[in-house]
Amino acid sequence: MLQHKGTQVIETPRLLLRRAVLEDANAMYDNWASDPEVTRFLIWPTHDSVEITLKVLQSWMEGYKKDNYYQWMIVLKSIGQPIGSISGMNPNDQLSSIEIGYCNWWHQGIMTEALQGVIEYLFETCNFNRITASHDPNNPHSGNVMKKCGMKYEGTARQSAKNNQGICDTAQYAILRNDWKKPSHFMEGFSYENDAALVQEIYHRYDEDSRLTSSKAAQVEFLTNVRYIERYLKPGDKILDVGAGAGEYSLYFSRRGYTVSALELADSNIEAFRKKLRSQDTIDLVQGNALDLSRYEDDSFDVVLVFGPLYHLHSEADKLRCLAEAKRVCKPDGTLFFAFIANDIVILTMFNEHSDYFLNGDYDKNTFRVDDFPFVFHTVDACRNLLRKGGVNVLHEVGSDGVSELLKEKINMMDEASYAQYLRYHDYACEKPEHLGASNHLLFVAKQCKQCF
């Protein structure tokens, strides 16, 4: 049965599809609405001024008051600004159908990725049965996007529409719910020889570059971890960021005057990190493996961050080796920070996106252990046992993002005052033992100890 849900946030590997805000006016005007080449085959005229763009955005925001209004900005995570829009038009409740329209100035598969995300949302979340789209035959690129998303050509209606080129034919495409095949897992079919090879492939396919900054919900983990790190930092401290990803923590602390060394394994993350570096940055960035920190001397860092490696190491022996290396390079009175991906909440966050996950999800249906592919998952007790075996004394156990992944659609729609209050609530709740298992990411703050068994 059709259930209108309106314009909710949709996230894909490279994109964030969200509601428009008035602050998008300049980006929309500059990036596509004012460009006659981009709007050449559209039914609305090229914008002559940003004031026209503002009026359009105001009409969209009025539309958001209705639950059958579907209008998204397409935000490219890597640059953090809108590059196009996509909408669901003319919803027909009797036929359970809706028409899709879109516009953007990028190629590189961006529009295909956006359309796939919207199709999945309209079928899975809203339960539409038929989704249609059309294009001017003189713009075959648009038709190729439809074909790539599984839409079928149903014919051409002659002289049936008018766009910025005049009266035109329209090539008609549609996809039915029964025709649609849910996109496969982004790592489906990949086999690997070892954890290092798997890490390389994950981040070749997955956008880590903006994971911590792409939305209000995404920022909760970063803000929480920074708050705990800053509790233990002193002026002049040296930081080692092991598994530095695309550099968010390294850059944050380096630009606040700390000496930072960063080590990262994945080629894609190294490339993204280097693109963010400014001429005045002094970070020592190297490519390497958390299992071998031999380039660093013993007892050389005041703070050691291990915010990625334990997402990927499968064997206990490798995990303990990672801990041992982090301890070795940390000063005796230094502080260690370990991050894990939590097991238990994953089942609910996946169910939130895939309605059949409880029956068909990748987890043990008796023990509720999520399959360790492509990432490695830990229960809270498993984290505690590993760190105890690794010889560290835990000071804080933190649900670093809490329920932010599960509630991301609501959180991302918050105004600034509501979001600030949500962060205060999260800070209040994140160390409560009863909340830990309901967080997607866990942070353990620790000191070295000689007898922790």
Question: Which of the listed residues 110, 143, 176 is the one where a domain comes to its end?
Answer: 176
Question: Do residue 56 and residue 171 come from a single domain?
Answer: yes
142 and 239 housed in the same domain: no
Res. 453: pLDDT tops 60: no
Task: Assess if residue 293 is contained within a domain.
Answer: yes
What is the C-alpha separation between 269 and 99, in angstroms, rounded?
A: 38
125 and 236 belong to one structural domain: no
Say whether both 159 and 308 belong to one domain.
no
* Together in a domain, 282 and 226: yes
Q: What is the pLDDT of residues 307-346, one digit of tens each?
A: 999 999 999 999 999 999 999 999 999 999 999 999 999 9
The residue from 121, 149, 176 where one domain ends is 176
Report if residue 266 sits inside a domain.
Answer: yes
* Mean local confidence (pLDDT), 396-403: 98
209 and 90, same domain (yes or no): no
Instruction: Give the percent of the chain with pLDDT over 70.
Output: 96
For residues 306 and 256, membership in a common domain is answered with yes
Q: Residue 80: left (phi > 0), alpha (psi -120 to 50), or beta?
A: left
Picking from 86-100, 119-133, 134-148, 162-176, which range would have the lowest pLDDT averaged per residue?
134-148
Residue showing tokens 């509790």: 231
The model's pLDDT over 80-123, given as tens digits with 9 standing for 90+, comes to 999 999 999 999 999 999 999 999 766 677 898 899 999 999 99
pLDDT given at position 451: 45
272 HSE (CA, 13 A, CB side): 23
Query: Tell me, what's the pLDDT at 355?
Result: 78
How far apart CA 40 and CA 165 sit, in angstroms, is 7
Residues pairing with 101 in the sheet: 87
> Is 45 within a domain?
yes
Q: Are residues 215 and 243 in the same domain?
A: yes
On the question of pLDDT at 381 being above 60, the answer is yes
Are 32 and 80 within one domain? yes
Residue 151 has pLDDT above 70, yes or no: yes
**Does residue 374 have a cis peptide bond before it, meaning omega lies within 30 degrees of 0?**
yes
433: domain CATH number is: 3.40.50.150
The reply to whether 204 and 145 lie within a common domain is no
First to last CA, the chain: 56
pLDDT at 299 over 90: yes
For range 119-129, the mean pLDDT: 95
Report the predicted TM-score, pTM, of the whole model to 2 decimal places: 0.68
Can you give the pLDDT at residue 325?
Answer: 98
Q: Does the pLDDT at position 216 exceed 60?
A: yes
Other CB atoms within a 10 A radius of the CB of residue 333 amount to: 9
Domain annotation covers residue 190: no
The answer on pLDDT for 391 being more than 80 is: yes
Higher pLDDT, 357 or 292: 292
| pLDDT over 60 (residue 450) | no
pLDDT of residue 185: 66
- Of 106, 88, 113, 101, give the one whose Cα is nearest residue 41: 101
Whether 188 is covered by a domain: the verdict is no
Q: CATH number of the domain that 54 lies in?
A: 3.40.630.30
In a domain, 1, yes or no: no
Residues 126, 205 within the same domain: no
Residue ranges making up the domain that contains 48: 10-176
Q: What total number of domains does the chain contain?
A: 2
In a domain, 184, yes or no: no
Q: What pLDDT was estimated at residue 182?
A: 66
Q: What is the dihedral of CA 376, 380, 386, 388, to 10 degrees?
A: 160
The mean per-residue pLDDT over the stretch 163-192 comes to: 82
Beta-carbon contacts of residue 228 (< 8 Å; ≥ 6 apart): 337, 396, 398, 443, 445
Mean pLDDT of the 59-86 span: 95
Residue 219 in this model has a pLDDT that exceeds 90: yes
Other Cβ atoms within 10 Å of 154 Cβ, number: 12
Cα dist. 262→54, 258, 269 in Å? 43, 12, 12
- Grade residue 14 by pLDDT with cuts at 50, 70 and 90: confident
301, pLDDT greater than 80? yes
| Average pLDDT over every residue of 375-399 | 97
| 250 within a domain of the structure (yes/no) | yes
The pLDDT mean for the chain works out to 93
Mean pLDDT of the region 29-51: 93
Residues 49 and 155 in one domain: yes
Per-residue confidence (pLDDT) for residue 452, from 0 to 100: 44
